[in-house]
Chain A
Amino acid sequence: MKEPEIRKLDVFLETILFSEGKVLDKPLLKCAVAVVIKNPLAGSYQENLDELSEYGEYLGGYLTKKAIEKMHIDAEEIESFGKACIVGVNGEHEHAAALLHPPLGAPMREALHGGKAIIPSAKKIAAAGATLDVPLLHKNAMLVKSHYDAITIRIPDAPRPDEIVVAVAFANGGRPNARVGGIKASEIKCINGLD
């Protein structure tokens, strides 16, 4: 685990109170927390991506704890999660994979005190100010249709060409007025991460 050089930290907190003509019984709280870090591998091909994976291991816990703090709720109240990266244009797609895939998930689950489902992810190479749709699904069962969602974020000045934006996102419930059927969150068995 290694702490990266963080240029900035951005928090996006959405509270959805009203949808389709009615006030929601429970406001839907969605939060994405992103850091902008220097990409130590920008500009050259490196076979070994371990340095980025070490950053990922640090950021999984750090970003998740920050999101829980900003949502002002208990970790157990979080129902869905997701993660995503934008690599600045001097980096490569695989840099995002090194950050997100081997290491980021375990410390996220640890900070959430659970989470059996796969953490959905998105990644791209883009210029500063690009939007990033961080996918969301139910933390314990990826077939729960009501919780398929995303939160869209954008940082006007990031990533610079030699930077990476790393984001995690959480929600305290499914989509407002979800009604496309499938397994309900209240019916999941919470064993295999699927249903």
Chain B
Amino acid sequence: MDLIIRKQVVIIDEVRSEIYRRLDLPLVKCASIAVVKNPFLDKVIDDFSGYTEYGEKLGKILLDSALKALDVTEDKIQSYGKAAITGIDGEQEHGSALIHVGFDTPIRETIKNTYSLIPSSEKSAGPGCSIDVPLHSKVAVKVRTHFDAMEVWVQDSPHPDEIMVILALAQGSRPFPRVGGLLWDDVKNFDGMS
């Protein structure tokens, strides 16, 4: 396996107040990004499901970088999401292969109690295109306070022959959530849903 990482970017977005009403605890969101050379260019691949090494390596690198930059332990993470932008010489499926095969394994090994699916967005685009990485609760998809997203953008990435892979994490709910639904503390089933 050859995986060339040109650059890594970590973006931290810490919201301390909303419309000048201070939050008791700041909402901290983090996107950890790797810009890698597309390992699948010029190859005809009918099934990516065996290519687990790329995803496993990226999942671990991105999570380690995020936790280091946030300077928190894994238990502080409440929600997550992932995304990929494939540069325009590749196809969307190349980026999808990096975030759907093997990627979740190191994340679920490190972050405990991750019962829910990791939500994702993916596309093919030129450098500097933004992507909205969806976020929801790691415990149960239906926790309504934690439905969120983080807009991510890296000025020079991805080049046409690259893939930009993103892991987004958040330490809490939206600021002042008040649209009802299942609450974080009321999750009972631990089936990933409710």
Q: CA of A14 to CA of B153 in the docked complex: distance in angstroms?
A: 12
A11 contacts B69, CB within 8 Å?
A: yes
Chain A residues within an 8 Å CB radius of B9: 12-15
Asked if B8 CB lies within 8 Å of chain A CBs, one says yes
Known: A18-B5, A131-B155. A12 touches B20 (CB 8 A): no
Question: Is B43 engaged at the interface, CB distance under 8 Å to the other chain?
Answer: no
Contact residues of A: prevailing secondary structure: strand
The answer, yes or no, to whether B74 is at the interface (CB within 8 Å) is no
Q: Is B7 a contact of A16 with CB atoms below 8 Å? A: yes
Report the bound CA distance from A40 to B5 in whole Å: 44
Q: On chain A, which size bracket covers the interface?
A: 20 to 34
Q: A5-B20, A38-B20 are in contact. Are A11 and B5 (CB under 8 A)?
A: no
B10-18, B50-58, B88-96, B97-105 - interface stretch? B10-18
* 0/1 interface trace, chain A 16-51, chain B, CB 8 Å (1 if under): 111100000000000000000010000000000000
B24 at the interface (CB under 8 A from A): no
List of 4 A-B pairs having minimum Cβ-Cβ separation, nearest first = A11-B12, A152-B155, A13-B10, A9-B14
Binding site for B on A (CB under 8 A): 5-19, 38, 69-70, 72, 131, 152, 154-156
Contacts from B to A (Cβ < 8 Å): 4-18, 20, 26, 68-69, 71, 130, 151, 153, 155
